[in-house]
Amino acid sequence: MSESVPGIAPEVFAPVEAPVSPPQTSEEVEFVQLLTPEGERREHPEYSFDLDDEAIKGFYRDMTLVRRIDTEATALQRQGELGIWASLLGQEAAQIGSGRALNSKDMVFPTYREHGVAWCQGVDPLKLLGLFRGVDQGSWDPRDNNFHLYTIVIGAQTLHATGYAMGQQRDHAIGDAEQGEATIAYFGDGASSQGDVNEAFIYASVFNAPIVFFCQNNQWAISEPIDRQTRIPLFQRAAGFGFPGVRVDGNDVLATYAVTQQAMKRAREGSGPTLVEAYTYRMGAHTTSDDPTKYRLSEDLEHWKLKDPIERVRAYLTRTAEVGTDFFDEVDAEADTIAARLREGCLSLPDPSLTDFFDHVYVEQTAQLAEQQEQFAAYAASFEGEAH
Amino acid sequence: MTKISLGKGINAGLRAAMENDPKVVVMGEDIGKLGGVFRVTEGLQKDFGEDRVIDTPLAESGIIGTAVGLALRGYRPVCEIQFDGFVFPAYDQIINQVAKMHYRSMGKLRMPVVIRIPFGGGIGAVEHHSESPETLFAHVAGLKVVACGDPVDAYWMIQQAIASDDPVVFFEPKRRYHEKAELDESVPPALPLHKAKVVREGTDATLFCYGPMVKTCLQAAEASLEDGRNLEVVDLRTISPLDLPTIFDSVKKTRRAVVVHEAPYSLGPGSEIAARVTEECFYHLEAPVLRVAGFDTPYPPSRMEEEYLPDLDRVLDGVDRVMEF
Ligand SMILES: Cc1ncc(C[n+]2csc(CCOP(=O)(O)OP(=O)(O)O)c2C)c(N)n1
């Protein structure tokens, strides 16, 4: 193998003492789990889920609806209505569990895949489509729902979140686990390699900022597997930065809720950052532009289907909470209604006008740009009435 | 009236801004106890505390990235980048995040962030300590880019930059930090942030300059008198947006122009000014707009910087050339 790498001396490939333990496979590492894939409740010494079955039904509903929103968006992309879509398929529990653990004053900084968290924060799903359809770059007002714009540059938002949390700290908005405020930053396993994420860890740590870093380790960064990003389980990195890290079963909505809630409480009361690694799996493609059959095994997908985050809740509700089929049918019907509304809304999203976008470059428009805007408007107007 | 250096002018301006608005926070490396490597923030931490004068970890992307978050929270961060050549680890945050947030949010979010960068050469420093990267920022939509050239401007412009709801990259001519001038804080600023200033009236040609080159150009104008030339000197002060009306007015008056900057020659601010003047003042011109600038090389080792940097002679040579037409 070494000969095939030009310019690299074969001895580089000679066995060396590994500086760290070899990459650990998923199953070897303990994580917090409160609901098994079979739908059975589990106890954990440090984390407990203390809501009732009604709440669990709520989680089931949330997860089902966002999965439906997601499949509808994927379909819209396939029909040419969206340029691209980043699916959350498989990550519903990580997002709903963590999203539902937030208080109304907490602030969220997402990547581009957090449709489930957006749902929890009350962002109209239709607004998520704008970026992917190409009519805007995020049309919701982040202040209305405490849900920042999607961020495409990998990891950049973790610093924004940290700065925001430093602001909460300076506003004396912390100090109470319930009444205080905190920030949560979402990012992927690939992002964990970015400088910004590591800088965010350092800033958060040295300033003791009220923040939770929520890494959805879906094990893939486009085609690169997790072992291209790290030699150790990601949650263990936190220790090196001086704050706690915890790995949670990212397909277990009860556990992601319990773990996030505790981490957010810690942040709100002023005890500083936590890294939560939600261990999950990206069941679909990275985005609709991507072909996962080129780089991963279909057996893996089959294996993870058995751990589906929604199925296990359904199993629990059916068997243990004795919830009847009526409930599931109602949720399905609601999902269909939402999907239909999403589709209709998407098709009627108005095409933006470039002329208007000149207005948003600066708060105080420059003379040069105003002139370009005017010239462009006049030029565009000269085509009016012409057939295209 | 007090005589104040350019560095102290910025310090006083920061202090005034912090007193006026509790949301102003200053952040950067070594800016607390040390007062910054150029002492521009001296004494601020003592008076405003560690929460408002934040000694950050040594991570530039972190400085700007967390400033984005602070700004989203309602703060007005003023970030110090220690030296021009060290801004690049933060470049992504500046151009992709700070510059675009207002646009991406369709005007809903603002980034009242100031990024202070001591820039330019002439201090005998090692590599990465003498760069003039202003064009790289001026080319980015969403940023405003200014450079102060004298202590009074320094005092007012930093306050105006902090008051701006748009992000401002604020270039400070590090080799002029110790230049002094009289400052009367009770006299309001003569100009808004994005106005150029005719610092010397003249009739025969205009020297356009900013930052460290303002002094050089004023000296050149004095020296030119010996050759019977009366030069106008315009301190641009703002590089993005350019104050085109003032530029055009001056060219229409003198009919000849030389743009002087330390930044590399090609595609620098001089290129833009030359193009604009050609578009707008073509029939007024007696000569093409010329540029006296740094070369299209990396900034050289400091033993050669005197040759690299536009100095009195190079500026005068440019004037000779523009007068020959
Ligand atoms: C700085 C940067 N580099 C590259 C890309 C292109 N890109 C988009 S998503 C992605 C993979 C991200 O993986 P991960 O962080 O694990 O998140 P996931 O998409 O799996 O949720 C890459 C490389 C980018 N958006 N930003």
Task: Tell me which chain A residues have a C-beta less than 8 angstroms from the C-beta of B74.
Answer: 167
Structural domains of chain B, ranges and CATH numbers in brackets: 2-183 (3.40.50.970), 197-324 (3.40.50.920)
* pLDDT at residue A26 is higher than 80: no
Q: Is the CB of A272 under 6 A from ligand 1?
A: no
Biggest alpha carbon–alpha carbon distance for chain B: 59
Comparison of pLDDT for A58 and A3, the residue scoring more: A58
**Among A326, A329, A327, A310, which residue's Cα sits nearest to residue A35?**
A310
Binding-face residues of B in 229-268 toward A, CB within 8 A: 240-242, 244-245
Query: In terms of domains, do A286 and A367 share one?
Result: no
Query: In terms of domains, do A110 and A168 share one?
Result: yes
pLDDT tens digit sequence for A303-315: 999 999 999 999 9
pLDDT tens digit sequence for A117-144: 999 999 999 999 999 999 999 999 999 9
What is the token pair recorded at A348?
Answer: 């009627």
Residue A112 forms part of a structural domain: yes
What's the confidence (pLDDT) of residue A9? 52
Query: In terms of domains, do A368 and A343 share one?
Result: no
Tell me if chain B has a CB within 8 Å of the CB of A368: yes
Phi-psi region of A122 (alpha: psi -120 to 50; beta: other; left: phi over 0): left
pLDDT tens digit sequence for B144-198: 999 999 999 999 999 999 999 999 999 999 999 999 999 999 999 999 999 999 9
**Residue pairs spanning A and B at CB distance below 8 A:** 139
Centre of ligand 1 to C-alpha A79, Å, is: 24
Containing domain of residue A367, as a range? 356-380
Query: In terms of domains, do A370 and A227 share one?
Result: no
The rounded distance, in Å, linking the Cα atoms of A123 and A342 is 13
Residue A385 forms part of a structural domain: no
- Give CA A37 to chain center in angstroms: 21
What is the token pair recorded at A226?
Answer: 């997790």
Query: In terms of domains, do A239 and A364 share one?
Result: no
How many other C-beta atoms lie within 10 A of the C-beta of residue B51? 12
Query: In terms of domains, do A369 and A344 share one?
Result: no
Task: Tell me which chain B residues have a C-beta less than 8 angstroms from the C-beta of A202.
Answer: 57, 59, 62
Residues 6+ apart with CB under 8 A from A134: A83
Residue A274 forms part of a structural domain: yes
Asked if A166 lies within 8 A of B69 by C-beta distance, the reply is: yes
Q: Are B322 and B255 in contact (CB under 8 A)?
A: no
Centre of ligand 1 to C-alpha B71, Å, is: 25
- Chain B residue with Cα closest to A140: B105
CATH of the domain at A284: 3.40.50.970
Query: In terms of domains, do A257 and A146 share one?
Result: yes
Mean pLDDT of B87-105: 98
Residue A311 forms part of a structural domain: yes
Tell me if chain B has a CB within 8 Å of the CB of A359: yes
Q: Which of B106, B109, B140, B277 to mutate to test the interface with A (most CBs of A within 10 A)?
A: B106
Centre of ligand 1 to C-alpha A190, Å, is: 6
Question: Total domain count for chain A?
Answer: 2
**For residue B203, which amino acid is it?**
T
Which residue among B93, B164, B244 places its CB closest to the CB of A159?
B93
The rounded distance, in Å, linking the Cα atoms of A295 and A250 is 23
The band of A384, judged by pLDDT with boundaries at 50, 70 and 90, is confident
pLDDT tens digit sequence for A91-109: 999 999 999 999 999 999 9
**For residue B21, which amino acid is it?**
D
* pLDDT at residue B37 is higher than 60: yes
Mean pLDDT of B3-10: 98
Q: Is the CB of A94 under 6 A from ligand 1?
A: no
Query: In terms of domains, do A240 and A363 share one?
Result: no
Q: Are B53 and B24 in contact (CB under 8 A)?
A: no
Mean pLDDT of B96-113: 98
Mean pLDDT of A169-195: 98
Determine what percent of chain A is predicted with pLDDT higher than 90.
91
Task: Tell me which chain A residues have a C-beta less than 8 angstroms from the C-beta of B269.
Answer: none
Query: In terms of domains, do A207 and A314 share one?
Result: yes
Q: Are B165 and A363 in contact (CB under 8 A)?
A: yes
Taking CA atoms, A236 is separated from A12, A47, A245, B272, in Å, by 28, 18, 6, 52
Taking CA atoms, B27 is separated from A298, B47, B109, B225, in Å, by 50, 15, 21, 45
Task: Report phi then psi at B115, rounded to 5.
Answer: -115, 105
What is the token pair recorded at A50?
Answer: 């203390």
Residue A271 forms part of a structural domain: yes
Query: In terms of domains, do A281 and A364 share one?
Result: no
**For residue A34, which amino acid is it?**
L
Active site residue A172: no
- Element (DSSP H or E) covering residue A247: strand A245-249
Mean pLDDT of B305-316: 97
Give the nearest ligand 1 atom to A152 CA. Answer: 25
Tell me if chain A has a CB within 8 Å of the CB of B75: yes
* pLDDT at residue A388 is higher than 70: no
How many other C-beta atoms lie within 10 A of the C-beta of residue B119? 28
Which residue of A222, A224, A226, A229 sits with most ligand 1 atoms within 8 Å of its CB, as the best mutation to test the pocket?
A222
Query: In terms of domains, do A341 and A364 share one?
Result: no
Centre of ligand 1 to C-alpha A161, Å, is: 18
Q: Is the CB of A221 under 6 A from ligand 1?
A: yes
Which residue among A199, A357, A368 places its CB closest to the CB of B241?
A368
Q: Is the CB of A100 under 6 A from ligand 1?
A: no
ipTM over cut 0.90: yes
pLDDT tens digit sequence for B260-295: 999 999 999 999 999 999 999 999 999 999 999 999
- Average pLDDT score over chain B: 97
Biggest alpha carbon–alpha carbon distance for chain A: 74
Q: Is the CB of A284 under 6 A from ligand 1?
A: no
Angle between helices A195-207 and B60-72 (to 10 degrees): 70
Taking CA atoms, A81 is separated from A115, A149, A340, in Å, by 18, 21, 14
The rounded distance, in Å, linking the Cα atoms of B84 and B74 is 27
Query: In terms of domains, do A204 and A286 share one?
Result: yes
Asked if A202 lies within 8 A of B57 by C-beta distance, the reply is: yes
The rounded distance, in Å, linking the Cα atoms of B293 and B305 is 12
